[in-house]
Amino acid sequence: MSKFLVGVLTTRDAEKARRCIDSVDCKDVDIVVIVNSPDPHYLKQVEESCAGYTVIETPCNGTPGRGKNSVLDYFIQKRYQYLLPIDGDDYYVKGAVKEIVRYAKILEPDTMPDVFGELKNTMTYNGKQTEWKDFAKNMSGSTFAAKSKPNWRMLRQLNKLTEDILPFNRFLLLSSHAAKSFRYNEELKAADDYLAMFELYSQTPTINYFLIRGREFYHYDLQEGGTLHAFVSEDNTQNMIPFFDRVSSLDFSQSKTTIIGNFNSGE
């Protein structure tokens, strides 16, 4: 058995889940597809699209956090050393998984979030390449932003504290130690990844926390009706209360990260 597991979490669109699997392209990892969907017929679609791979259905409550926790549970149960979690509608750029594995072998990290806030990754929306700022122009998130202005002010201060870990990140890698050290919030409609990053950041230096800069690892596929689209299109002030309550309670006084660039660039 490999030390590395790619955990593909899919809620809808079985063809994209297969696209995600095909983008892995690394013999050093095992792959599992976790189906966490309110659609009772979706499992069969994924089993057909992802034939030849392990496909497991887990109970769904409609939030991203529930599905991500089910990926963590499978990873921990199977005793892998490293988890590469990815949403099934996203996919890796060429060579990304091989490079993540190489980072893990050399650095022995507990977690490596991708600094997505730098917009270094490719994003697609309705099949076309885009950037977050262009996507956001079409979203009616002004109500949420206005009502939660004090909280976002606090969040910007936290970003400075935590070496500019910006929103809409993804975990590239989690060690077994990191995976056992937190749970995703199962109430939030969005920002569950972001909260998890703060959870682990508050546990450093017992968590070996690396940030990778200057490298594209995956395509973030934005879709109408997806989690992020729904989040910024609605007033989510009430939904975000658990997020801000939890972040406010965390202690970052001893927290630190190690920032590294692309090995190939010599940084």
Domains of the chain, residue spans? 4-265
Class in CATH terms, 4-265: alpha beta
Per residue of the chain (267 residues), give pLDDT as tens. Answer: 689 999 999 999 999 999 999 999 999 999 999 999 999 999 999 999 999 999 999 999 999 999 999 999 999 999 999 999 999 999 998 999 999 999 999 999 999 886 544 444 456 666 677 665 565 555 544 444 554 555 555 555 555 544 444 444 678 999 999 999 999 999 988 778 888 988 998 998 899 998 777 677 888 776 655 555 555 555 566 777 788 788 888 888 888 888 776 555 333
**Predicted local confidence at residue 230, as pLDDT:** 54
- Distance from C-alpha of 13 to C-alpha of 184, rounded to nearest angstrom: 23
Taking CA atoms, 147 is separated from 136, 241, 244, in Å, by 17, 12, 13
Q: In what order do the strands lie in the sheet with 128-130?
A: 91-92, 218-222, 122-125, 128-130
